[in-house]
Amino acid sequence: MAGQYPPEWLEELRRANDIVQVISEHVTLKRSGRGFVGLCPFHQERTPSFHVHPERQFFHCFGCGTGGDVIRFVMLIRGLSFPEAVAWLAERAGIPLPAAGAAQIREERERRELLEVHRWAAEFFRQTLWSEIGRVCREYLALRGIKEETATRFLLGYAPPSPDAIQLAARRAGVSPALLIRAGLVITSRQGQAVDRFRGRLIFPICDAQGQVIAFGGRVLDAPGAEVGGVATSAPAPKYLNSPETALYRKGRQLYGLHLARESIRRLGSAVVVEGYMDCLSLVQAGVENVVASLGTALTPAQVQLLRRYAPTVTIAYDADTAGELATGRGLDLLEQAGLQVRVAVWPEGKDPDDVARQDPAEARERLGKALPIWEYRFSRLIGPAASADPEARRQAVRRVAEALARVPGAAEREVLVQQAAGLLAIPPTSLAQQVEETRRRQGMPGLPGARRSKSGSWQHTNEGGRLQPRSEQLPPTVQRPAEVEASLLAWICRHREEGRALISQLNAAWFRVPAYRRFVEALQEWGDLEPLLTGKAGEELAALAAAFVSGACGDTGGLLSVSVGHAAEDGTARGGGGGAGVRGGKPATWETGQELVWRVQAQAEIAIIGNFEQELRDWERMLPTRLSGLNRLILRYKQMVANLAPGKAAERGA
C-alpha cells in the first residue's frame, strides 16, 4: 500500500511529523534515558511500558508488543487506513500529497468536492432544524425522547418539506447544481424537474470513522402530511431514505456512530451493534457509549472487518425477532468466523433497544451487561420453554439443536456444545451427538476427523506422534503469552552478548507471538550477532528495539523470568547463573541459564494454553472412555505433561 508513495516523500512526511510530538498529543510522555515512556494507549496498564525513540522515530510497547513509526501510530490511534493516515499527517505538516496519475487526481478531486458539499449540506440541515422551520422536527425529536445535546452530538438536521429548499440554499452559497446531483442531494423527477431528495425529513448525517459526513439518512416525521413537499411521487414515501452510493459512500461499509464511539469501543474492548439510528441515539442517551448502528440487519464483511479493528467482543442488540433470526440462522456466522466473541442482548418480546432505553435507561444497560454468549442464546431460542413439558416439542427442539450443531466446523467445539445442549434438553449427550453426526452425514459434511478446531485455529491435530500441537501464531487471545515475556527474553539475550550469541541458534522465531519480535529473532539469526541490528542494518524498527533491549528500557518487564530463574538458582540448577538476578543485569548468566529461559518461555505458554483448555479436557474425559479411547490416552499424556511443567517439578527435572 505504501507503494503509491515515493519512499523519499514518505521520509519527508515522517521527518515533518516528529513522532514524539505526534504521540504527545495522545499520550503523556516522560523522558527516560534517550527516549520517552508513557502509559500505552493500546492496552490497559498501570506502569508505563510504552516507549518512544526520538532518534529512530519509532515507538514500541513492551506490554502488548505494538510498535512502529509515526504513520503506524496514527493508523492505530485514529483507526485510519494507511493512505488516510498519510493524508492526515500530510495535512498536519502542510505537505502536499505527491503527484499521482491523472485518474487518481480526478478521483481525489471528486472525493474532495463531495466531502465539501456533504459538509455544507449537513450544516444547512442542522441550521434548518434549529430555525423556525425546524420546529415540527424538534417537536418530533422531543416526542421520541431525543435530547438537544444528543441531536447536536449526532449533527441531526431537518430537510424542510419543500421541493427545492436545498437548491435555493445552494444557489445562495454558490454550490453548483451538478454537484448536488452527483452527491444525490437532488434528483430528477419524472417530469424532468430537479427535486430535493430529502423533503420533510429528520436528517441523520452518516460519517466515516474520522467524523466526515459522507452520506445522509432521512426519516419521515410521524406527523400527517409531513412529507408532501408539493411533489407528486409515484409510491408512498418510505420511512427511511438514504443517499445513493457515491465515490464517498458505499452501502454496508459504514457503521453509524463509529466516529463517536470508537474511543470507548477500544477502551472497553467491545462494541454494541444496534440496527437503526434511533436505537443508537437512545442507547447513547442511556449512557452506553460504545454503540454503533449497522443500518441493516445482516452485518456485511466490510462492517465485520471494521469492528474487528477496534474490539474483540461484539454485543448484538437487535430487537428480539431480528436477533433471533440472525443468531439461529447464519446471520452472525461472519462475526464468529472473524474470530470475534459474539454476545446477544435479550430484549422483551416486541421491543427494541430504543423502546427499552427510553423507558428505563438502567434496564437497557443491565440487559446489555447480561448479553448471552452466542451459543447460550441460540440454545435458548432453539429449545424454547415448551420443550420440557411436551415430548413432541422436545423432539422438535432436539432436531433444531442437532441441525445447528451440525454446522459447527470444529469437532472438539462441537463435542463441548453437544454436552451443554444435552444438559439443557435433559437427554444423554451420546444420543444428541449421534443425531448431530447423522445430520452432518446427511448434509455431506465430514465426520469426526479427530480434534481439529478449524475455526479458532488454535489446535491442529497433526499425525506426528499423534500430538496435539498448539500453533503459536494463532493462539486464542485469552491464552496468549504476554508480550513482555517475549521482550524480556530478548532483552536478556541482548544484554548478555556472549551467552546470547550461543543462544541465538537455539531460538525458533515461531515461538514469538509479537511480529516485531519474530522479525528480531530472524534478523539475529540471519546476522548471527546483535551489532548489525544496533547499527540499523536490519532496519530502523529493529534498531530501535535493539537499542531499547540493550539500554534496559524494558528492564521492568522481566518479572516472570526473574522469578523463574531465581527459583531455579535456589535449586542449584542454573549453574553459575544469575543467582536470582534474573533478566536484569547482575552477574552474567551462563548459556545454561539462557537455555532454561527459553525452555521456560515455552513451558509458560503451554501451561497457559492447557489451563485454558482444562474445562474442555474435563468435558472430553467424561465422554471419552466410551467413545474415543485414543483421545483419552492423549489427555492422560497431557495431564502428565502439565504435572511435569509445574515449577517445582521443572526444577527437579532440570537438576
Chain contacts with Zn ion (rule: CB under 5 A): 40, 42-43, 61, 63-64
Give the position of cell 466515516: 208
Q: Give min distance, CB of 92 to Zn ion, in A.
A: 24
What Rg value do the Cα atoms of the chain yield, rounded? Answer: 30
Q: Which set of grid coordinates corresponds to residue 31? A: 523522558
Which residue, 43 or 144, has its beta carbon nearer to Zn ion? 43
Q: Which set of grid coordinates corresponds to residue 259? A: 466516529
Which residue, 204 or 517, has its beta carbon nearer to Zn ion? 517
Dihedral angle sign, alpha carbons of residues 471, 475, 479, 484? positive
Q: Give min distance, CB of 25 to Zn ion, in A.
A: 18
Burial of 93 (0-12, 13-18, 19+ CB in 10 A): middle
Q: Up-side HSE of residue 226: CA atoms within 13 Å toward CB?
A: 23
Q: Give min distance, CB of 341 to Zn ion, in A.
A: 20
Which residue, 64 or 90, has its beta carbon nearer to Zn ion? 64
Distance CA 81, CA 312 (A): 19
Q: Whose CA is closest to 249, among 206, 278, 211?
A: 206
Distance CA 453, CA 281 (A): 39
Which residue, 5 or 42, has its beta carbon nearer to Zn ion? 42
What is the rounded end-to-end Cα distance, in angstroms, of the chain? Answer: 53
Q: Give min distance, CB of 66 to Zn ion, in A.
A: 5
Q: Give min distance, CB of 50 to Zn ion, in A.
A: 6
Q: Give min distance, CB of 65 to Zn ion, in A.
A: 7
β-bridge pairing 186-188 and 240-242: unpaired
Q: Give min distance, CB of 409 to Zn ion, in A.
A: 33
Q: Whose CA is closest to 495, among 534, 535, 549, 554?
A: 549
How many of the other CB atoms lie within 10 Å of CB of 115? Answer: 17
Which residue, 36 or 42, has its beta carbon nearer to Zn ion? 42
Which residue, 275 or 486, has its beta carbon nearer to Zn ion? 486
| b/e sequence 251-280, b meaning 16+ C-beta within 10 Å | eeebbbbbbbbbbbbbeeebbbbbbbbbbb
Q: Give min distance, CB of 40 to Zn ion, in A.
A: 3
Which residue, 554 or 598, has its beta carbon nearer to Zn ion? 554
Which helix (H) or strand (E) segment holds residue 263: the answer is helix 258-268
Q: Give min distance, CB of 470 to Zn ion, in A.
A: 23
Question: What distances in angstroms separate CA 50 from CA 69, 131, 142, 351, 432, one per listed residue?
Answer: 13, 49, 46, 45, 51
Which residue, 43 or 461, has its beta carbon nearer to Zn ion? 43
Give the position of cell 541458534: 505
Which residue, 40 or 422, has its beta carbon nearer to Zn ion? 40
Distance CA 251, CA 261 (A): 20
Which residue, 64 or 273, has its beta carbon nearer to Zn ion? 64
Q: Give min distance, CB of 39 to Zn ion, in A.
A: 9
Which residue, 43 or 111, has its beta carbon nearer to Zn ion? 43
Q: Give min distance, CB of 59 to Zn ion, in A.
A: 10
Q: Which set of grid coordinates corresponds to residue 560? A: 516472570
Q: Give min distance, CB of 38 to Zn ion, in A.
A: 10
Q: Whose CA is closest to 62, among 467, 487, 375, 361?
A: 487
Question: Reduced to 3 states, what is the DSSP secondary structure of residue 188?
Answer: strand
Q: Give min distance, CB of 41 to Zn ion, in A.
A: 8
β-bridge pairing 291-293 and 270-274: parallel
Amino acid identity at 551: S
- Ranges of H-type helices in 17-50: 19-24
Which residue, 403 or 556, has its beta carbon nearer to Zn ion? 556
Longest dimension (CA), the chain: 94
Question: Reduced to 3 states, what is the DSSP secondary structure of residue 435?
Answer: helix
Q: Which set of grid coordinates corresponds to residue 176? A: 453548483
Which residue, 49 or 562, has its beta carbon nearer to Zn ion? 49
